[in-house]
Amino acid sequence: MAIRAERVSGDDSMQLDDERHETARQAVVIAERIDRQSRAPAPKAHESLVALHQPAGAAAEAFRGLYYALRRSVGGSPLGVLAVASAARGEGRSTVAANLALVAARETGRPVALVDADLRAPALHRLFGVDGEVGLSDVLANRADLEAVVYEHPNAHVALIGGGRPEAEPARRFTSPRFARFLAQVRGEFAETVIDLPPLACVDARLIAAQCSGVVLVVRSGQTEAQLARDSLEELEGARVLGAVLNGAAGLEAPQLRAARRALPPGR
């Protein structure tokens, strides 16, 4: 993201001086952050980021398959803003979101934004081994600009926007004009953005999903009840569900996989 240093020059008007001072201050903060990032070695990422650690392995290949299946479901074009949803906690939303963003960036050679919208319990920064001091919650509460909270991964072409300071009741943030502005900004800068949602039991997940270009539903094999998965599709009424991921299906036999496919047809 470019820094408009030329906006920081003298002027007679006091108000403009104040504005320019603020612009200069923010430019310095951003420049320092980018400088720190570019000098820092790549942080130690969690082993579940298989697309980063073993890009040629079977698990990364499964995420590549998922990415291209999603692309096919939208006629081959870039995914725009894709939300990753699931019914309950611990079903693998963050793992799927992060690996999907990593393979998308690798396959297209373009930067992909990865956004942690689970503001009650932000987690993506930990997967990438970076501090979670500031992020989306700070942008939405007007405490920071988007440029100041983006973490550009040194090896992966992924621009991580962490959750930031946790919030207990974040729903109203996602109906605010600031969130609409945030979405417009990421749409303008990235052909593909992946958003990690809270569980669908939280109203914010539904509010965000309805504003995205598409949604993928994660169902955890042996954990998510079939009825709960069907209820989730109902809760996503109004959003564009592109398909579902059966996460952790490696141990399943072929007949069980066929049954799962019938229960959750990709696309609607």
Ligand X SMILES: Nc1ncnc2c1ncn2[C@@H]1O[C@H](COP(=O)(O)OP(=O)(O)OP(=O)(O)O)[C@@H](O)[C@H]1O
Q: What residue ranges bind ligand X (CB under 6 A)?
A: 48, 86, 89-95, 118, 121, 123, 199, 247-248
- Taking every pair of Cα atoms in the chain, the longest distance, rounded to a whole number of angstroms, is 76
Q: How far is the CB of 116 from Mg ion (least distance, A)?
A: 8
State the DSSP string of 68-112.
HHHHHHTTTS--EEEEEEESSTTSSHHHHHHHHHHHHHHHHSS-E
Question: Which of the choices ligand X, Mg ion, none does residue 91 contact, using the CB cut-off of 5 to 8 A by kind?
Answer: ligand X
Q: How far is the CB of 94 from Mg ion (least distance, A)?
A: 3
Cα(3)–Cα(202) distance, rounded to whole angstroms?
A: 37
111 or 199: CB nearest ligand X: 199
Q: How far is the CB of 197 from Mg ion (least distance, A)?
A: 8
Question: Which of the choices Mg ion, ligand X, none does residue 90 contact, using the CB cut-off of 5 to 8 A by kind?
Answer: ligand X
Site for Mg ion in 85-124 (CB under 5 A): 93-94, 123
Structural contact between residues 197 and 123, judged by C-beta atoms closer than 8 angstroms: no
Question: Which of the choices ligand X, Mg ion, none does residue 259 contact, using the CB cut-off of 5 to 8 A by kind?
Answer: none
Q: In what order do the strands lie in the sheet with 192-196?
A: 150-152, 158-161, 112-116, 192-196, 80-86, 214-220, 241-247
Question: Which of the choices ligand X, Mg ion, none does residue 162 contact, using the CB cut-off of 5 to 8 A by kind?
Answer: none
Structural contact between residues 66 and 234, judged by C-beta atoms closer than 8 angstroms: no
In this structure, how many other beta carbons lie within 10 angstroms of the beta carbon of residue 90?
Answer: 11
Site for Mg ion in 121-140 (CB under 5 A): 123
Cα(197)–Cα(121) distance, rounded to whole angstroms?
A: 10
Q: How far is the CB of 202 from Mg ion (least distance, A)?
A: 12
| H-only helix segments in 154-225 | 177-189, 203-209
Q: How far is the CB of 35 from ligand X (least distance, A)?
A: 31
Structure tokens at 225: 């009840």
Q: How far is the CB of 235 from ligand X (least distance, A)?
A: 16
102 or 123: CB nearest Mg ion: 123
Question: Which of the choices Mg ion, ligand X, none does residue 224 contact, using the CB cut-off of 5 to 8 A by kind?
Answer: none
Cα(57)–Cα(66) distance, rounded to whole angstroms?
A: 14
94 or 221: CB nearest Mg ion: 94
Which residues lie near Mg ion (CB under 5 A)? 93-94, 123
